[in-house]
Amino acid sequence: MTVARSAEFVNGVIKAYDVRGVVGEQIDAEFVADVGASFARLMRGEGAARIVIGHDMRESSPALAAAFADGVTAQGLDVVHIGLASTDQLYFASGDLGCPGAMFTASHNPAEYNGIKLCRAKALPVGQDTGLATIKQEMIDGVPGHDGARGTATEINLLPDYAKFLRGLVDLDNIRPLTIAVDAGNGMGGYTVPEVLGTLPQVTIVPLYFELDGSFPNHEANPLDPKNLVDLQALVRKSGADIGLAFDGDADRCFVVDENGDPVSPSAVTALVAERELAKEPGAVVIHNLITSQAVPELVTELGGTPVRTRVGHSFIKQEMAATGAVFGGEHSAHYYFRDFWGADSGMLAALHVLAALGEKDRPMSELMSSYATYAASGEINSTVADAKERTMTVLEAFESRAHSVDRLDGVTVQLADNAWFNLRASNTEPLLRLNVEARSPEEVDALVTEILSIVRS
């Protein structure tokens, strides 16, 4: 039996759909070894015999991955180490090898953080209601020991297989020559992009911050924050690139800027990829989370597909992908999910779709994407608050007379006149209240943002 821990401590580290915390304060070798042991027990109960483990470029990641592996093998399961990997490369390994997986990364969080993303065999999700609550309780009570023999550990390199698999899903053979500026943010994109895109004869890569460095010396590897796109935007303009791509720290998300250096909404990318997937499979289901632009379900419906709205978070969307058989799913945060990729998310696969769409037509990226941008949006605006629930209720009271409808699928979404809406929801991983607003015009968006933030931040 491992050491027991307080519920308050464990609840602060094991979140709604992953494990995440500050290294040395919340996350250490002993903690992750016990998570590994508990996860192994859970997976052994479901018939698994081995677990594949990958890690990002953070300084703490290799040691934490090794400690997790010790916890797994102590429970009698084998471990397959794939070493340095993007998160979607870990999902590929889980799908290709047919075994559960653990990815050590804190994604876009600052350097002092680390964490674990867990999945079942074939990249099926492990979230609060599908395993994390069980692990959490064992971390509180103490993880029971195992009387049998220890498992073994082996190492393999799956990067070439991952790259070949992705390129096999999107036909890029006949695209026109493209110059692509890529900001890897010193994250795992610097490892995977050369393998996936660097071998394509029609593609010229202009690299930025490809050096793997978990201290993130140039900017945070979080392209959702506009300030972290500035260097890429400048590079696109300077180099005359046809398109710019930015990856987050674990390279499972991909953000796009056009040839003018202007950001392309992830909702527009969702619409573009949905159109491509529905062309291959008319009438299919497409998932979108509740923050995604309403242009997405409108387009899916227009094309004869079935849009399904879900809450934010990869484990929730993966569950919905599996339940509905959806061909594709997209989030406002630039997570893109593919049935052909075991229902898991891959920023790289989304990037290949965007490059194919751009390369198949003789027009610039800005023109290609203009048809998908039918609404103005605020993007996600975060406010640090200690009383998210109370402030949300105050906002609701202020909009009560104007609200056409209110739903609570994830936080609160308020529908207003003329297709305007806003959503307020508390972060699952940080002490933040997140605001998203959409309306017909930028002026209406700005007015709503100003009004709502004046209440939230008062």
Which residues are tagged catalytic?
107
What is the rounded CA–CA span in Å between residue 55 and residue 77? Answer: 19
What is the rounded CA–CA span in Å between residue 283 and residue 281? Answer: 6
What is the rounded CA–CA span in Å between residue 171 and residue 177? Answer: 14
- Helix, strand, or coil here: 308? strand
Contact call for residues 133 and 112 (beta carbons, < 8 A): no
Alpha helices in 210-332 (DSSP H): 230-239, 266-280, 295-302, 314-324
- Helix, strand, or coil here: 93? helix
- Helix axis angle, 266-280 to 347-359, nearest 10°: 70
* Residue 181 in tokens: 């500026």
Q: 96: which DSSP letter?
A: H
* Residue 41 in tokens: 């027990």
Could you tell me which of 267, 445, 446 has the C-alpha nearest to residue 371? 267
Report phi then psi at 256, rounded to 5.
-125, 140
* Residue 390 in tokens: 């109370």
Starting at the edge strand that comes first in sequence, how are the strands of the sheet with 243-247 ordered?
203-208, 178-183, 243-247, 254-257, 263-264
User: Strand 153-155 to strand 78-84: parallel, antiparallel, or no bridges (unpaired)?
Assistant: parallel
